[in-house]
């Protein structure tokens, strides 16, 4: 959505914040396990008080970043800074960072109260203060009255809350969350997403959340880092990442996508399947081969005459809110359409989309070039306004 | 299904009846007869009335305690180190290996090592301490007993440490604990069950050690085990031997209950 005025404002706003409050900085971080490079040249900055998500498939290196930041493992190269101080050699117990573990890692020999109090007791905090803080933390995660319970008596969702309380009671400046919702059932997970987001906003501390679930990432984050094969592919707010994926992997990983090959004929003109379409992308070479993303919810079923493409319907599944329609075009490309209207299997239909629904991706474009290109569009929009 | 289960348990139940229940009953029965075959409580009166037997009981418990303590102090760090190394299985095998060798053989080997002209004294002479009386001392008895019991202490502790969820250790560090605090507040409490199992496996058999007391301890150490042997084989006073046996069994049961604990769930890797 290039002509969304909110977005421009947001980008300008975030630039000012960025200058003020960088809390974590990774520069050129590598991590080697034997012969394999698990992290390749990781660079990023986290600002104070924001909710960040590392998103990627399992084995992409997201948990390794978390472990390096927590101090459980060392980086093979590069520097990690906390408020401008290099912390590469600072042991885990000296960092003002706390972690919520994937398996919660609650101490089974201690009850809820003693689990939450663990960090404060180590710091030799006064008993009365410990009690106040523990009860407050339990209240924040809505577990008041559970102080004397044993860990084994709690449900998965309750254990998860205890794990969060145990971490936040220490008032960390950064809270790391390692797929903490993955063990919960779907309904509880959705509820916890909202709660986590609210908790983060109430505490005002930086959250770095690791997940492989794109829905989770989109729902909670201020900023998402999409990772694959030990590298960060794209960084941006959820809307940016969804609307303007940098490459095939990101487009495919975030949401459902129809991806077809195309060719740039000129600025704002792309050719797909032998047809020429107006689009909102520019700055590429003439005749540059590209990939084009069309989201299933942007495709509208219409008559063959009104449609921009003609497809044949293969299957139609009712999903409650939409019909999920699989179809194919004459060239054999598959098209997934989310439609509120139903159609007939086997029928030829037209699909219609707007120029701004076409998202053009270049092959092998770096994140820097990609950002520069998008920014140039936004400047164009500005002039129009 | 139930019928089949019952059928499969027949060998075990037979074994239990013949070699556990029946001997137990016989010992209890036997303990109520004096050396002349008369039904009496005099054996128990003798046991609890005479200083000799009580001292022997105290001796047994004291030596078993020391052997257990020495074994534990050596085994816990070993088990911890073992859980952290590579090639765990190999090291574990090397530790278990001596248990496959007959106890008597090991005892005789130590007689050789500790004798006046043995390897141990050669070494002492070499480092300038000179030859010492090693065999037939209390120290050598404790040393050899601990040597023999160590694998039985290491195994349960190793298992407990190995089952410990490693993210608990990370969690402890994350919350600000030093290595020592992590050990004392998380690792040790969570491996206590292994320690208890190891203590049971070492302390209880150590109560009735008798062969080592003679071969290595040179009868300087008299335990209840020695006394039972004497009564059955030398004085032929089966009644008194059985009485000591009953006391020993009761003591073992008490220790089992004292160290046994309902296992808490959790703390183990899923």
Q: What are A307-357's pLDDT values in tens digits?
A: 899 999 999 999 888 999 999 998 889 999 999 988 999 999 999 999 989
- 3-state percent helix, strand, coil for chain A, nearest multiple of 5: 35, 30, 35
CB contacts < 8 A, A to B, total 74
Burial class of residue A384 in the structure, from the number of CB atoms within 10 Å of its CB (0-12 exposed, 13-18 middle, 19+ buried): exposed
Q: What is the pLDDT of residue B52?
A: 86
CA distance A274 to A277: 10
Tell me if chain B has a CB within 8 Å of the CB of A74.
no
Of A93, A152, A166, the CB nearest to B265: A152
Q: Which residues of A touch B165 (CB under 8 A)?
A: 103, 105
The encoded tokens of residue B179 equal: 């290595």
CA distance A315 to A298: 18
CA distance B252 to chain A (A): 27
Tell me if chain B has a CB within 8 Å of the CB of A153.
no
pTM of the model: 0.78
Tell me if chain A has a CB within 8 Å of the CB of B264.
yes
Is B170 in Cβ contact with A92 (below 8 Å)?
yes
CA distance B192 to chain A (A): 10
Of A109, A122, A152, the CB nearest to B176: A122
Q: Mean pLDDT, to the nearest integer, of A218-245?
A: 93
Q: ipTM more than 0.85?
A: no
pLDDT in tens, A107-130: 999 999 999 999 999 999 999 999
Q: What is the pLDDT of residue A17?
A: 43
CA distance A155 to chain B (A): 13
pLDDT in tens, B17-60: 999 999 999 999 999 988 888 888 888 998 998 888 888 888 88
Tell me if chain A has a CB within 8 Å of the CB of B87.
no
Spatial contact of B212 and B107, defined as CB atoms under 8 Å apart: yes
More confident call, B219 vs A337: A337
Q: What is the pLDDT of residue B3?
A: 59
- Cα separation values, A14 from A48, A54, A229, A237, B66, Å: 12, 19, 28, 11, 68
Spatial contact of A350 and A327, defined as CB atoms under 8 Å apart: no
Of B167, B181, B265, the CB nearest to A101: B167
Average pLDDT across chain B, whole number: 87
Report residue B256: phi and psi, to 5°.
Answer: -55, -45
Q: Which residues of B touch A97 (CB under 8 A)?
A: 174
Residue A5 has pLDDT above 50, yes or no: no
């Amino acid at each position: 959505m290039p002509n969304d005025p909110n977005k421009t404002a947001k980008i300008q706003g975030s630039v000012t914040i960025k200058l003020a409050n960088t809390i974590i900085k990774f520069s050129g971080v590598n991590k080697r396990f034997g012969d394999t490079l698990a992290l390749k040249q990781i660079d990023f900055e986290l600002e104070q008080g924001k909710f960040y998500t590392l998103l990627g498939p399992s084995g992409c290196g997201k948990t390794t970043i978390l472990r390096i930041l927590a101090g459980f493992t060392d980086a093979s190269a590069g520097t990690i800074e906390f408020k401008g101080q290099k912390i590469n050699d600072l042991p885990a117990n000296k960092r003002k960072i706390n972690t919520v573990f994937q398996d919660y890692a609650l101490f089974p020999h201690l009850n809820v109260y003693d689990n939450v109090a663990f960090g404060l007791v180590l710091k030799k905090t006064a008993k009365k203060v410990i009690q106040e803080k523990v009860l407050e933390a339990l209240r924040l995660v809505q577990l008041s009255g559970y102080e004397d319970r044993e860990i084994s008596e709690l449900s998965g969702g309750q254990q998860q809350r205890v794990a969060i309380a145990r971490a936040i009671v220490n008032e960390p400046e950064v809270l790391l969350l390692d797929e903490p919702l993955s063990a919960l059932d779907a309904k509880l997970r959705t509820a916890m997403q909202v709660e986590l987001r609210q908790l983060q906003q109430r505490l005002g501390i930086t959250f770095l959340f690791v997940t492989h679930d794109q829905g989770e990432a989109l729902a909670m984050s201020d900023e998402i880092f999409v990772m694959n094969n030990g590298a960060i592919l794209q960084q941006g707010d959820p809307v940016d990442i969804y609307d303007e994926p940098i490459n095939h992997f990101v487009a495919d990983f975030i949401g459902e996508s129809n991806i077809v090959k195309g060719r740039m004929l000129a600025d704002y003109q792309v050719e797909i399947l032998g047809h020429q379409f107006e689009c909102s992308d520019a700055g590429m070479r003439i005749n540059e081969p590209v990939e084009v993303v069309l989201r299933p919810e942007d495709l509208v079923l219409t008559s063959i005459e009104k449609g921009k493409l003609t497809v044949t319907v293969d299957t139609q599944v009712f999903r409650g809110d939409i019909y999920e329609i699989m179809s194919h075009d004459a060239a054999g490309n598959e098209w997934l359409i989310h439609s509120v209207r139903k159609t007939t299997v086997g029928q030829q239909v037209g699909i219609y989309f707007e120029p701004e629904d076409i998202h053009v991706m270049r092959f092998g474009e770096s994140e820097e070039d990609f950002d520069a290109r998008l920014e140039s569009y936004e400047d164009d929009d500005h002039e129009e306004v | 299904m139930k019928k089949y289960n019952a059928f499969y348990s027949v060998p075990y139940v037979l074994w239990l009846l013949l070699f556990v229940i029946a001997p137990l009953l016989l010992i209890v029965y036997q303990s109520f007869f004096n050396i002349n075959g008369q039904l009496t409580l005099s054996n128990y009166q003798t046991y609890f009335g005479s200083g000799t037997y009580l001292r022997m009981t105290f001796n047994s418990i004291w030596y078993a305690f020391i052997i257990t303590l020495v074994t534990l102090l050596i085994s816990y760090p070993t088990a911890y180190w073992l859980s952290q190394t590579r090639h765990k299985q190999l090291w574990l095998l090397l530790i278990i290996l001596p248990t496959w060798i007959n106890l008597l053989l090991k005892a005789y080997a130590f007689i050789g090592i500790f004798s006046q002209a043995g390897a141990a004294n050669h070494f002492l002479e070499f480092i300038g301490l000179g030859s010492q009386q090693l065999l037939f001392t209390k120290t050598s008895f404790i040393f050899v007993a601990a040597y023999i019991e160590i694998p039985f202490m290491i195994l349960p502790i190793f298992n407990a440490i190995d089952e410990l969820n490693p993210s608990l250790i990370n969690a402890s560090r994350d919350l600000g604990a030093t290595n020592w605090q992590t050990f004392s507040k998380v690792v040790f409490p969570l491996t206590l069950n292994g320690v208890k199992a190891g203590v049971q496996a070492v302390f209880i058999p150590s109560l009735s050690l008798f062969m080592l007391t003679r071969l290595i301890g040179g009868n300087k150490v008299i335990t209840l085990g020695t006394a039972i042997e004497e009564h059955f084989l030398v004085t032929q006073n089966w009644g008194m031997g059985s009485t000591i046996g009953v006391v020993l069994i009761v003591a073992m049961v008490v220790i089992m209950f004292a160290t046994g604990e309902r296992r808490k769930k959790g703390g183990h890797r899923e």
